[in-house]
Amino acid sequence: MKVTERVARLAILTIVLIVVVVAGCDRAMTVGKTVMPDPTEEVTPAIDLLLDWPEEDWTDEERNRWWEAVRAAAVNVDLLNITGCTPDPLVIEVENGESIQIYNDDATDHTLTRGGNSITVPAFETINIVISDFLETGEEGIVNPGAYNYVCDGVWPAVGIFYVAPQVEPPPINPLLIFPSEDATDEEFERWWEAMLAAAVNVDLLNISGCTPDPLVMEMEHGESIQIYNDDATDHTLHWGGHFITIPAGDTIDIVLSDVFGPATGALGYGCDDGPTAGIFLVHPPPSE
């Protein structure tokens, strides 16, 4: 082989090797490339519930975000573990007048302090406290809803939070379920009776799931057979006077109302389980009467 041919072939091989090496390096650089964050994009910092305590100059957005984090972290249990001055849970949800336990698994006592109130939990012991005895109270000795931080052994910063959730107001009682009193005027009685008649539904199936009867006022004739349906996972018991009937969980029963609740006619208000009046049976006398 001529020298010039050998030189030419070596030159071609060298060029090929260079191309392969460069391509491989470029591929390696592409695979290992890290995408840098956009410096113009605003990053929302994580919330430290104990250090990022709301300030007066906070915006509504910042305040709402902090409260959302508190509610998300709140755990509704009746035992607070303060071993090592590290509470578990960090945020414990409590209610007014509620009694909880505080457990200390350390070999030394620990003292929790909130404002002017302090509670000492002896080493390896569990104590019971009433929330209103530790947290500051407002009118009538009631702890206002909110977040209350506390320190352990007098050392700042705070180590945990008591979260007093707002009280959920029970739904208002339907006026129909408030029967006129004996001293009600004729006008008041007639107005209630007309409203009850307007709400009455003549069907043969009563749904008492959730102890919320549907229909609220069930119209029927004396001696008529009806069905009562319970879609809940627990039994429910309807009661009127001294009479009771239990509808099993997930079951439907057939009853003749007069066989269970007696021969009375008119508007019969009945309760569900241990609750107040939940619904009304409007029972008409037999047609022959």
Q: Specify the pTM.
A: 0.49
Question: Homologous superfamily of 175-284 in CATH?
Answer: Cupredoxins -  blue copper proteins (2.60.40.420)
Residue 49 near residue 90 (C-beta atoms within 8 A)? yes
pLDDT tens across the length of the chain (289 residues): 444 555 455 555 555 455 444 455 444 333 333 444 444 444 455 778 888 888 888 888 888 889 889 999 999 999 999 999 999 999 999 988 788 999 999 999 999 999 889 999 999 999 999 988 898 887 777 888 889 999 999 988 899 999 998 876 666 778 889 899 888 899 999 999 999 999 999 999 999 999 999 999 999 988 889 999 999 888 999 998 888 999 999 999 999 988 887 888 899 999 999 888 999 999 998 776 4
Tokens coding 202: 């003549």
For the chain, what are the domain ranges? 60-164, 175-284
Task: Provide the 10 A C-beta neighbour count for residue 198.
Answer: 9
Rounded Cα distance between 109 and 100, Å, is 18
Architecture of domain 60-164: Sandwich (2.60)
What is the DSSP secondary-structure string of 13-48?
HHHHHHHHHHHHHHHHHHHT--PPPPTTS--PPPP-
Same fold, 60-164 and 175-284: yes
